[in-house]
A = this chain, B = another copy of it.
Amino acid sequence: MAANSKFPSQLVFPSGDKPIVTATDVAREAGVSISTVSRIVNGTARVAKDKRLAVEAAIARMDYRPNLQARSLKLGTSMIIGMLTQDIESPFLARVIRGFEEALVGTGYAPIIVSGHWNQKEEIERVGLLMDRRIDGLVVLYGDLSDSQLLEISRRQPVVATGRRLEGEHIRTLQLDHEQGGYIAASHLLGLGHRRIAHISGPPLHTDATERYAGFVRAHREYGVEVDRDIVFQGDFLEHGGVLAMNRLLDCGKNFTAVFASNDQSAMGAHLVMYRRGIRVPDDVSLMGFDDIPAAAYLTPPLTTVRQPFFEIGLYLAQSLLAMLGHDLGELTVPSMELVIRESVKRC
C-alpha cells in the first residue's frame, strides 16, 4: 500500500502557463451546452450548422483537445495497446516494434511499450502497470511469463503472444516455424557440399533455439550425414556467447568446414574470433547466421542467414489484436522465413 509514499511530500507540478481548456470552456465560448460540443467533436449526432460553425471556431481559437483520460473513464476503453518487449536494444525486437507501430497508425490506438528484460518478476510488474492503465489489449513479445500467467492476464483483455503456442478465448499466439528455419539453413550448407558443420546453439530453454537445432538435425538426416555433437557448442544468443563458443570450438581440435550460428548476434561473435585467429570467412570456414538483423548485411563479408520477417511479425501481431478488438481486417497471412544468400558461405 502507500503507493505514493515514494514521492516527496509536497510535490510541485509546474503545469505550464497555458491554461487547459475543457469542453465546458468551449461550450461557454460558443454559447452552447457541453453536450453539443461533445456531439460535434465526435460526430455522434446532427447539430445545426450555425452552432457547429461556432463550436468549431471556438475549438480552433482556444486550441481545445479532449482529455483522453476522461473519455477513457467514461467509455471504458483507453485506446491504448500495451506491448511487453524484452529489450528495446535488441535489433530484432526493435524491428518487430516498428512493424507493430506501423500497423497501428491511423487506427486511433496508441502503443505503450514496456520492457521485461527476460526477467519474469519484472515482466509481471510491468504488465501490472499496463493493466492499471486499462489497456485495451496486450502484445507479449517472447519472455518468461508462464502459459498460465498469460492465460490469467488474458481474462482482463485480449492478448497476443509470440514464441509459444496457446489456446484461449481471448488469446492468440504466433509461433514461426523455427524447425523449418533451422532446416533451411542446414540444407543450404549441406547442399553446397559441407559435411562437417559446427553449430553454436542458443539458450537451451529457449524453444526457438532448440527448434532451430531440431531442423538442423532433420536436414542432416535427410542428407544421410551424421551430426557430430562434439562440434555443437552452446551460446546465449548474444555476441559474447558467440565469442566463447567459437573459441571452444576452435580449441577442441575437431575439424569442420562451416558454422551455423543459431542467430546473427552469435554469428558476429564467432566472426570476430575467426578474424582474430586469421581464419578467413568464407575461404577457410563458411559462416551462417539466423535472423537477418540490420548489421548482418554490413559484416565483412556480408552474412548469409535465414531471414525472420520481423517487421511483418509486428504487423501481424497488431492486426490479430485489432481483430480481437472487433476490427475486421480480412485474412491474415502468417509470415514465413526465407534464406538470404550473401557472401559468408561458399561451396565446400
Contacts and interface: CB of A to CB of B under 8 A. Distances in A.
A237 to B, nearest CB: 14
A97 B88 contact: yes
A1 interface: yes
B42 A4 contact: yes
Contacts of A132: 65-68
A3 B295 contact: no
A51 B241 CA distance: 54
B6 A106 contact: yes
Contacts of A101: 88, 115
A326 B11 contact: yes
A262 interface: no
A18 B156 contact: yes
Given A17-B169, A112-B112, A300-B300, A65 B131 contact: yes
A44 B108 CA distance: 37
A12 interface: yes
Given A131-B65, A268-B298, A271-B298, A13 B136 contact: yes
A5 interface: yes
Give the interface centre of A15, A170, A272, A298 by most chain B CB atoms within 10 Å: A298
Contacts of A20: 156
B302 A18 contact: no
Contacts of A7: 108, 327
A120 to B, nearest CB: 16
Interface stretch (A70-78, A177-185, A227-235): A70-78
A1 B328 contact: no
A134 B326 CA distance: 27
Interface in A123-163: 128-129, 131-134, 136, 154-158
Interface in A67-97: 67-70, 72-73, 76-78, 87-89, 91, 94-95, 97
Interface of A: 1-8, 11-18, 20, 40-44, 56, 65-70, 72-73, 76-78, 87-89, 91, 94-95, 97-98, 101, 106-108, 110-115, 128-129, 131-134, 136, 154-158, 169-170, 239, 268-269, 271-272, 275, 294-295, 297-302, 324-328
27 contacts: A1-B42, A2-B42, A2-B43, A3-B43, A3-B108, A5-B43, A8-B328, A11-B326, A11-B327, A14-B158, A16-B154, A16-B170, A67-B134, A68-B133, A88-B101, A89-B98, A101-B115, A110-B114, A111-B114, A112-B112, A239-B297, A269-B298, A272-B300, A272-B302, A295-B295, A299-B299, A300-B300
